[in-house]
Structure 1
């Protein structure tokens, strides 16, 4: 496979350089500082405001709390997440199942480690936030299982507000400038990360490499600006998440 020519800028953010927050039951590694009094818009890359990789102890989680005017996308890496919200919907997310939630004019929900307490199984989950295109929308919840599609090893669109994905299986988000792609890369393979004005690549597990040989380990992120497509390769296999963004909050 040939390596596409790349322009623009590429910034690697190492796992150890993320914001870290720890409580009695939550270990949160944040690509953008989100715990505390932070200006999320000022720290955003493209449309992405929050990108937390959280480890939740067995039997623990977030009790019922309120969100307004936020697009929340959730991806489970290990364990089970149980979701309940004020619209009456419930769901159990496992690896391979993506969730999107439009908070709109207001929604209350809880998110807890859904595994039996006796199993002591931790929940590892990546939660990502964007702002909606418009405020005051009707609350909405959606989920979809991409386990079969991810078996291909290719990059799969799992959540999107882009018009070109409207008829796809991707769960909807109320922001037309962003889409989330996931790949479970096989050993000795590569995927093409699409061109984007603003991109955020996250190595959720395993290791990968950029075309120039830069190595990426679990927890590392790559923030791109005005790049062409990039060939990402792996020797031992990797699970990667890529946000394709077509605007920023400064636009």
Structure 2
């Protein structure tokens, strides 16, 4: 088993006034040659956007872009004609492919919006741009990891052009689960959104993460009531 620890207080940070962003991997003005990616995951930004502000229309190419709102309402518009709002309990995915322009704005004028922005490098290019969003864990299941993303169009959750799987779960204190990886050669990135958890010999507090590879399964224990995101990606791509 190989591990890479990502403590919350070691992340890059950009404060633009209207945007507070914490970067797990090198992004924009934050450059750390030791933190360029974890396998096929290139970006994990933990963003807070001020009331009524947001990202103006801009372009992406050949990237799978996943957004997971944590609070508030995020309004999406794109060059394919989509205009939607995503909020806590949703997941949004864009296959940028040959090119997509989009904007993301805080729809509310009286509160912040918080969301994760995750970029996964695709296993196919070029592809036609596409957009999708859906509700996750509509049955409010607890103490299990719910699949929210996969490479399969007919599987649970949204899908992307990569052999990647995302799971998310809410756990009560001292709950232990064993997570089995879907594909040999993949790595597992454990990101503690709230609470604390023990994984791969490390205690992870809020917004801490650990990347683990050369494994087939991993035991994870919630040390307190916790919300945990799992991101499984190919280490070679």
- 2:56 is equivalent to residue 63 of structure 1: yes
Q: CA separation of 1:32/1:149 partners in 2, compared to 1, >3 Å: closer, same or farther?
A: farther
Q: Is the 8 A contact 1:46 1:199 kept in 2?
A: no
- 2:192 is equivalent to residue 203 of structure 1: yes
Taking structure 2 as the reference length, the TM-score comes to 0.91
Instruction: Note the residue ranges of structure 1 that are not aligned, 5 or more in a row.
Output: 1-7
Deviations 1:76-115 (A, max 9, x none): 1111111110101122111111011011111111001122
CA displacement at 1:39 relative to structure 2: 9.2
- 2:150 is equivalent to residue 160 of structure 1: yes
Q: Is the 8 A contact 1:86 1:108 kept in 2?
A: yes
- Give distance in 2, aligned partners of 1:197 and 1:87: 32
- Give distance in 2, aligned partners of 1:39 and 1:11: 14
Following superposition, which runs of at least 4 residues in structure 1 exceed 6 angstroms of deviation?
none
Taking structure 1 as the reference length, the TM-score comes to 0.86
- Give distance in 1, aligned partners of 2:145 and 2:26: 27
CA displacement at 1:10 relative to structure 2: 2.0
Match of 2:170 among 154, 160, 184: 184
CA displacement at 1:28 relative to structure 2: 0.7
Q: Is the 8 A contact 1:206 1:239 kept in 2?
A: yes
Q: Is the 8 A contact 1:193 1:242 kept in 2?
A: no
CA displacement at 1:211 relative to structure 2: 6.0
Instruction: Note the residue ranges of structure 2 that are not aligned, 5 or more in a row.
Output: none
Aligned to 2:120: 130
Is 197-206 or 187-196 further displaced after alignment?
Answer: 187-196
Aligned to 2:23: 30
Name the count of aligned residue pairs. Answer: 234
Q: Write 1 or 2 for the structure with the bigger share of strand.
A: 2
